[in-house]
Amino acid sequence: MRKIVIAGNWKMHKTRGEALELVETIRKGFKDNGEIKVIVAPPFTSLLSVSEALKDSTIGIAAQNMYFEKEGAYTGEVSPLMLKDVGVHYVIIGHSERRKYFCETDENVNKKIKVALEYSITPILCIGESLEERKGGRTFEKVEKQIEFAFKDISPENARKIIVAYEPIWAIGTGETATPEQAEEVHSFIRKKIAKMYGNNVASYAIILYGGSVKPDNAFSLMRENDIDGVLVGGASLKGDSFLEIIKAGIRVSGGES
């Protein structure tokens, strides 16, 4: 059985005080019944404070990026070792904003995934097509290539640890969500692709999240789909009440009370 995962990507938002306030609201409002996993991804500057604030909680902590070397002359970068040191368990890799604004390549994404796994940090790999690619009927081709690159030379043992987040670029921050049917079509394609590469067992345990304008009013219908195992939320994760509503939707989907 796959657990529902609700992750909040705060992007470049929240000073340390604001981060602590938000995380406190989430911590108080989330009654963990063991059915779902909640993750928050604050900016680097708040990781330590948030990880201290969540010390006795089951809420996971993710970084939004990471470099693929342990240490060295890489001005401005943060290593997996440093993330471990401040209590990080997950790392978002290959977000479309990093690919677009910071020259993140498929090759780097693959290197980062390998290094994260080496340090026992769970990668949350982001993939997804642009509007142009969707309109041109190239969605599956794009997603397939991104999966092949990202999983290159990764063993089945490690592949099963990777969380995939399908985030169609046209749905990010636009208010335009993929319909549950549109998202499910791609999620099921991704699962089949993982099955082709690693077999049915790895594919059946793979956690595949949807991201792109997820809100309290669409989260339930998305997560109800067979191959949608949770959501990666941007804007709606910045307010305690809307993130908690999405968490409740996850609990309902998993069959628990909310």
List residues near ligand 13P by CB under 6 A: 9, 95, 167, 172-173, 211-214, 232-236
CB atoms within 10 A of CB 204: 13
Those residues with Cβ within 8 angstroms of residue 155's Cβ, 6 or more apart along the chain or in another chain: none
- Smallest distance, Å, CB 8 to ligand 13P? 8
C-alpha distances in Å from residue 62, one per residue of 10, 84, 101, 245: 10, 10, 20, 20
Amino acid identity of 77? E
Those residues with Cβ within 8 angstroms of residue 243's Cβ, 6 or more apart along the chain or in another chain: 6, 8, 26, 233, 236, 237
- Smallest distance, Å, CB 7 to ligand 13P? 8
3-state DSSP assignment of residue 67: coil
> Which is catalytic among the residues 104, 129, 133, 167?
167
Give the residue among 128, 119, 105 at the shortest CA–CA distance from 63: 119
Is residue 245 among the annotated active site residues? no
Is residue 95 among the annotated active site residues? yes
Nearer to ligand 13P, 27 or 95 (CB): 95
Nearer to ligand 13P, 9 or 158 (CB): 9
- Smallest distance, Å, CB 6 to ligand 13P? 12
Nearer to ligand 13P, 198 or 212 (CB): 212
Q: By CB neighbour count within 10 A (0-12 exposed, 13-18 middle, 19+ buried), where does 187 fall?
A: buried
- Tell me the angle at which helices 180-198 and 216-223 cross, rounded to the nearest 10 degrees: 40
> Which is catalytic among the residues 95, 97, 104, 245?
95
- Smallest distance, Å, CB 235 to ligand 13P? 3
Nearer to ligand 13P, 95 or 99 (CB): 95
Give catalytic residue positions: 95, 167
